[in-house]
């Protein structure tokens, strides 16, 4: 989600019409032949320009390796010709279907909840009520893992230097009942983990680029 604060609840990438990008100006070199990939692009002509005062170009590459290793690379460029910066937040929203929820890898990390700062204990994150947290400044060498012991399954969520934070969200019972796209009991079988820039806003000068990426793998 690419959000400059001008769209309520959604980023431009959710309301725009993505196109396949076949140009030679994509994101770096193509991956190795055994990997499947697609390059996508979102430009100002693909969205309602009234939603934002900014002009930008958003390129996205999605790569799937034979072993199921999934990589997403985003590159955003400021195309403003009037000298204006773009100030924005960015996050990948990853929704996981689980039989039971637990998250490891964020122990002893500071996090924000309801704008208050806390520190995660030494145990894995478990869910007994609504959880809406932002874990701040996670080292590049550290990753989070969604663990599902009933299915004997895990998913590692890794990120690059461009995305320092990780968000964890589950609406729990009361909020789930008020959501149109979530069944009353489905909150028990889902969790969202965001790879993000939440703790601060990013500032991008005209004709400069920002790049962020995430990597997902599971057993």
Residue 83 has pLDDT above 90, yes or no: yes
pLDDT value of position 26:
65
Higher pLDDT, 215 or 25: 215
Residue 89's pLDDT band, with cuts at 50, 70 and 90, is confident
CA distance 76 to 74: 7
With cut-offs at 50, 70 and 90, classify the pLDDT of residue 71: very high
- Of the segments 74-83, 93-102, 122-131, 149-158, which one has the largest average pLDDT value? 74-83
The whole model's pTM is what? Answer: 0.84
Residue 37: predicted pLDDT: 92
Mean pLDDT of the chain: 84
User: Quick one: pLDDT at residue 50?
Assistant: 52
What's the rounded mean pLDDT across residues 146-174? 88
Domain count for the chain: 1
> What mean pLDDT comes out for the span 154-171?
89
Q: What DSSP line would sit under 121-176, residue for residue?
A: -SSPB--SS-EEEEE----TT--EEEEETTTTEEEEEEE-TT--EEEEEE-HHHHH
Say yes or no to pLDDT of 135 above 50. yes
Residue with tokens 């489905």: 186
Question: Using one digit for the tens of pLDDT, what is the confidence trace for 93-113?
Answer: 999 998 877 788 887 788 888
Give the model's pLDDT for residue 8. Answer: 45
| Burial zone of 110 (CB within 10 Å; 0-12 exposed, 13-18 middle, 19+ buried) | middle
pLDDT at 7: 41
What distance in Å separates the CA atoms of residue 179 and residue 149, rounded to the nearest whole number?
27
Sign of CA dihedral 21, 12, 160, 166: negative
Q: Which of 88, 24, 30, 27 is nearest to 56 (CA)?
A: 88
Closest-CA residue to 86 (of 77, 96, 75): 77
User: Which band of pLDDT confidence, cut at 50, 70 and 90, is reported for residue 77?
Assistant: very high
Determine which of 10-14, 58-62, 106-110, 186-190 has the lowest per-residue pLDDT on average. Answer: 10-14
CATH code (residue 125) = 2.70.98.10
* pLDDT at 14 exceeding the cut of 60: no
Show the domain range for 150.
2-218
């Amino acid at each position: 989600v690419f959000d400059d604060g001008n769209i309520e609840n959604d980023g431009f990438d959710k309301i725009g019409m993505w196109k396949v990008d076949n140009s030679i100006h994509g994101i770096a070199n193509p991956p190795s032949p055994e990997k499947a990939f697609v390059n996508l692009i979102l430009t100002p002509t693909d969205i309602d320009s009234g939603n934002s005062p900014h002009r930008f170009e958003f390129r996205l590459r999605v790569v799937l390796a034979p072993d199921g290793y999934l990589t997403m690379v985003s590159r955003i460029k400021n195309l403003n010709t009037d000298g204006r910066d773009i100030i924005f937040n960015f996050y990948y929203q990853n929704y996981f279907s689980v039989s039971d929820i637990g998250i490891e890898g964020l122990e002893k990390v500071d996090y924000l909840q309801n704008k208050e700062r806390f520190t995660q204990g030494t145990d894995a994150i478990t869910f007994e009520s609504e959880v809406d947290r932002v874990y701040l400044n996670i080292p590049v060498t550290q990753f989070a893992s969604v663990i599902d012991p009933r299915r004997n399954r895990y998913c590692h969520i890794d990120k690059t230097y461009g995305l320092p934070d990780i968000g964890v969200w589950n609406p729990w019972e009361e909020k789930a009942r008020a959501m149109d796209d979530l069944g009353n009991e489905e909150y028990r079988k889902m969790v969202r983990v965001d790879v993000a820039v939440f703790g601060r806003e990013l500032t991008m000068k005209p004709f400069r680029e920002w790049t962020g990426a995430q990597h997902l793998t599971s057993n």
